[in-house]
């Protein structure tokens, strides 16, 4: 096994490790019906997000290393498009998802009782919309990586 093959292996493994949990984060919170369940769902989301961050970081590093080893990849449309989409998805975390989730975290800390406030419904709906957009971006990247259409 040469270095490039090892990078490909790590890249694929990282995609499974990082993207797999990322696709279910929204579903975990949507299944919760009480404030106790919602709080637990967000704790689980936080723990799973660690895998998403590690996998995503390894994906970026290995993908770029493969490009530096084979510079022709930077001329391939599927590679460049995937890289641009990945960087777009990466920037959505701190610039979109984090600001959208902050009020939810504050609400979870301050709200008393088991009833789910309407404010949570509104805030979570908006957050989940952006998470679905991010999931679509990552699905497109996966399709581009597999098919290499252009």
Residue-wise pLDDT for 51-105, tens only, equals 999 999 999 999 999 999 999 999 999 999 999 999 999 999 999 999 999 999 9
Residue-wise pLDDT for 17-54, tens only, equals 989 999 999 999 999 999 999 999 999 999 999 999 99
Say if pTM beats, i.e. exceeds, 0.75.
Answer: yes
Say which residues have a Cβ less than 8 Å from residue 55's Cβ, sequence separation at least 6: 14, 15, 16, 17, 18, 19, 20, 21
> Residues of 8-38 as b/e, b for ≥16 C-beta within 10 angstroms?
eebbeebbebbbebbeebbebbeebeebeeb
């Amino acid at each position: 096994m040469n270095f490039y093959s090892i990078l490909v292996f790590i890249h694929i493994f990282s995609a499974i490790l990082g993207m797999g949990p990322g696709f279910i984060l929204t579903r975990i919170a949507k299944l919760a019906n009480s404030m106790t369940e919602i709080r637990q769902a967000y704790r689980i989301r936080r723990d799973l997000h660690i895998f998403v961050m590690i996998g995503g970081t390894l994906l970026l590093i290995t993908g770029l290393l493969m490009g530096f080893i084979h510079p022709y990849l930077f001329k391939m449309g599927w590679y460049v498009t995937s890289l641009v989409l990945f960087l777009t998805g990466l920037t959505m975390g701190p610039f979109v998802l984090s600001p959208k989730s902050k009020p939810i975290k504050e609400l979870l800390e301050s709200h008393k009782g088991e009833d789910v406030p309407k404010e949570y419904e509104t805030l979570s709906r908006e957050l989940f919309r952006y998470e679905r957009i991010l999931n679509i971006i990552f699905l497109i990247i996966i399709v581009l990586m597999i098919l290499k259409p252009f």
